[in-house]
Structure 1
Amino acid sequence: MDPLDGPSPKLYPRPDSDDSGDGISNSTPQIALGVTQQRDRELLESLLSTFEVTDLADPVPERTDLCIVGTDALAAFRGALREWKTRERPATAPVLLLTTDSAEDAWRRHEESVGELLDGIQPIPAPRRAIRSRVDGLLATRRHSLMSRQRQRELELYKRAIDSAGVGISIADADRDDLPLVYVNDGFLDMTGYDREEVIGRNCRFLQGEDTDEATVDEIRSALADERPVSVEIRNYRKSGRPFWNALDIMPVRDDDGEVTHFLGFQRDITERKRRERLLEQYGRIFEAVEDPILILDERNRIVETNPAADDAFGTGTSIPEGTQAEHLFEGEQAAQFRATALAVRWTGNSRTVEVTTDPEGDETVFQFRFQRLEATEDYSERIIAVSRDITRIRKYQNRLSVLDRVLRHNIRNKLNVVTGLAELLENSGDEEVAAIAEDIDTAASDLLGIADSARAFNRSIDPAEPRTQELDLSAFVREVGAELRESHSDTDIDISVPEAAPAVCPATIRLCLKHVVENAIEHTTAPDPRVEIEVEDTDEWVDLRVSDHGPGFSERERRALTSGAERPLEHLQGVTLWLVRWAVINAGGRLDIRDRPEGGATVVIRLPPAERPATV
């Protein structure tokens, strides 16, 4: 080969494991030589001295940009070269064959390899400039193929990112009439329910429907006409016809000359957010309109919000300032009681009720507060909701009834004792007719005394000064009371069926309730061998205490009276016992029900709330 100096080599991009993206770096190309003739190799190394030159090997070395091989090396490294080309796809991995054959013979001899394995054939000897030109050309091809591969991979990455984005993305062609869609991602299809072929080529208005706001549509049209960005919330429709709220952002895409070529749209389904907003709006209206005073407290017991009823009740004619310590609305012991209850709810998480008395301008008012804890969210820290109710009139009525009850019970009992005493004297008068009448009087008076005693015992269930509930293991309690009833009613078969344990919240007068219901069942049974069944069932949601008899049952009018909670002239009970039981059970948070038995008789069901069960290990 005739020596001929060529220009300095250009810098070409080549694979480089230390670079990001596609591994492109502007460093000196690497050429792998597979030439066995020593003189040819020396001349090539001299020609290519400004490149990085290495020996061809199997596998082809990493970072190789061009392989130059002789005929012998082509045969020896054919498999390695083929693997290298496969590895580098879609980039070009050029191989240049140096051969002593003439150009015509070389092309004929290697015809099958050209294009598949060989990218060029250079007969030698040849001028240095010719060889260098061929090398530069192949390296330029390599450079452009690497850049193309990089762009292709970037486009694939962008497409994957867009397709997997959590929002809908669409592209409309701004150069065509009616702005048809030319691309939608999978998020758009998932949101709308359409297939891709159903939307490409159409204007996006197919998502509109009868409840789509026309003013919002006009806002979008105006922005598109002015080629400016727009963001709206619009009611659209899925393919199924179901509406959804779409947070739509549209922006124009411009070319290098500043001309708008496309419109890029982003769609987010905000239906759930809009639903929550509507609920919050409704709750806000309710919060403002409710007549019960409501205080919302932060974690330091400061007021963060009040409704108008609370401002009227506690604001002394003005709105309660935000940040006010809630207990400062009250005085002395009442303030301490309010604060202690709020702290207890915050610490335990359990709802609590407390009564607080205020004395504005000497007019004492009683409020019953119900405290509830709200867990912290992303929008706000932990809150305490304090809902109050003015129960002043209720407490006054209860106090008056309690006083009236005590007076009546005392006077009635005294008078009835006089009646029974006089009746006993008449019974001993010696006149049989008078004695019979006196006995009836004595019996009636004794019955009235029994009713008075029952009312006196049940007074605890309505007296505001007395505790109303107690927590009991209802199973153990029924076994205990059942034994007492068996002893006092030995002529009656009392069958008891209870689980091992059934903790329940019971009325303070539960013993009287059970005894009265059982005695009522015994009194009204018509069977020659009286039988009463007492059962307890724990259903997790309720603890049921059932008393069943084999008597005539309850009439429909008695059942309606007891169920409705009020008597009418034609719908009433024959006595007050079941009313007293009902009131006691309801005050404990329970329910009273009456059921017919298929085999005859009735079942009285006392349904009580379950008590907290002890933790088990």
Structure 2
Amino acid sequence: MELPRAAYRAAFDDAPDGLAIVDPETGTIRDCNRRYRELHGGGECRGQDVTDHVVPIRDGEGELLDRLDAAATDDEPTNCRLRAAESVPVELRLSSITVEAADLLLVRVTEIEEGAEKRRDRKRKARAIDEAPIGITITDPAQADNPLVYVNDEFERLTGYSAGEALGRNCRFLQGPETDSARVAELREAIDAEEPVTVELRNYRNDGSEFWNRVTIAPVHDETGELVNFVGFQEDITAQRQDRAELELAHELLETVPSGVARTDLTPEGTFEYVNPALVSCLGADSADQLCEYDFADFYVDPSDRAELLEELSEGDTDDVSRETQLVTLDGDVRDVIVTASVSEDDSGERHVHKIIQNITDRKRNERALERYERLVESLPIGVYQNTPGSDGTFTLLNDAMVDIFDADSKAELREQPVRDLYVDPEKREAFSERLREEGAVTEAELKLRTLSGEELWAAVTAIARDTEEGTVFDGVLQDITTRKEYEQRLKEQRDNLDILNQVLRHDIRNDLQLVTAYTDFLGEHVDEEGEEYVETIRQSADHAVELTRTARDIADVMLTADRDRHRVDLWQSLESELDEVRSKHSGAAITVTGSVPEISVVADEMLDSVFRNLLTNAIQHNDSTIPEVDVAVEERPETALISIADNGPGIPDRQKEGVFGKGEKGLESSGTGIGLYLVETLVEAYGGDVWVEDNDPRGAVFFVELPKVESADS
């Protein structure tokens, strides 16, 4: 009985091997079953070239095509790998069949059982690699720059880079500027030589954090000896290196630390079991063996210190105990030390005392010297400080005098102030700081500073720049020289004024005396009517000389008096006395007073008379009118008194108004000197007043003097 066509089709589709019907002339697949499609990735296979689906292991593709052309039947199987899954080895058999009178080939693909087991083994290995607790990488040396083609999960966790971010890149992307170039070169040489190598490198994760990576690279060769790839193992050994470094450091420290280290038993005497070189030196021994001949108790100046220390340890309230004490060396010297002790128990249950002995003899000596120094610094009447440089410099050390100088409430308040804010001109701070850095020391620099209350002061600063472990600092002393500077300024002004006075007096008196001498020559023994004119000239010149000497005396008195005693002065009395005197000396002048002079008092002194005398005399002597006219008026204002003295002389040009009170000012045609006007301005300003000049109408000048009034309550 012939089976139905559907049964054949079902048997074809459900066959356990991959089956494909192929045109022997073209190699085109006419039909294939489900298993064949699965082996080739599950896609459509009909119409494709069968030779595109397989990769021969030993035979070339050309032989396979030859066999197809020859329509070989029941040939020996050909071992192949599928292009869709090259890791799957298969047997490929060819058979001739006839379908609907057409001669075709049946290609049967059978998965090799041994290959399946190996594939399962490979899957197990792949899963083990993926889940391995260390980072595993595979690189492809056949590609340029040996890129990563595989990384496992632990590599992603270890480095912070996903597989997508890592694949295609060389492993050196984990390196940074701190990676040891020598170890990298060692790794590179081994890779070039196709030899296994292990190095420890400082690497960097994706987030920038560093870790120590133990990298092992091993080459993988195929059965022909050709290099296939490199397998890498990456292990985070940061903690291991730290532990190893700490152990090495601890051992090194025991032998090299400047503090003494000892281990003794727990007996009252404390027999030495171990001492380091520092303790040998501290106790004046020649060697550790020599020191171990003694008990630790033998070295205490006061043995009770050790007993109390052990008692405190035995109470168990703390892990370690520290105490300042004194030890005596084998040479008899006394050492100030700090003993820190702790108790441990070894595997056998025996207890030991571990001690760190810090020699603080020098420190204690320095502390005592520092205490004396600090007492000295605090008692100094000048400021002593230390501050940091730069625009944001701050005080780090201060004495009490600095607090007083800058009107601070405390040292803490002054430390909070940036140093530059204490300068009237902050740029001076920058210049001083730069100079100090360049020269290393600055002596007696005079700086204008400002206190916390806003008062300005002059200070003489001497400072040095010094390098410390924390950086450069400025150590200095500061003395308030405000009083000295003010005194120096007054002396300078007095010297300048006296110099001017000397020049002016010599010049004017010399001129007057020349006139006296010249006209005296004309007088002879007898004077006739013609000689009377010369006598008058002599008289005027002599009077002028007397007036000059009087003004000079007033100026000298003003300049040599540091602080004038200003007080209440009756304005009318002072003005009236000078009006009377000037009228008597200059009878040819018309001197009037407009209105009445109010009975008021002003802030001045006995030199106020000189102010009015010089202004009145100036108005007459510098007058070119036939009859000099002078008009005086007084106006009482709310807080001041305004005195005006007007004349009908030539007036003062605008360009000279501001300087008319200056040193040695005088009119171009005037025989006067202007020294009196300088005295006027000096006195008026000392009284807290003001003086200026304006044009008179229709001609001449008006001098105004404004003086502060004294209120009746003050009188």
TM-score normalised per structure 2? 0.32
Structure with more strand by fraction: 2
Greater RCO structure (CA 8 Å; 6+ sep): 1
| Structure showing greater Rg | 2
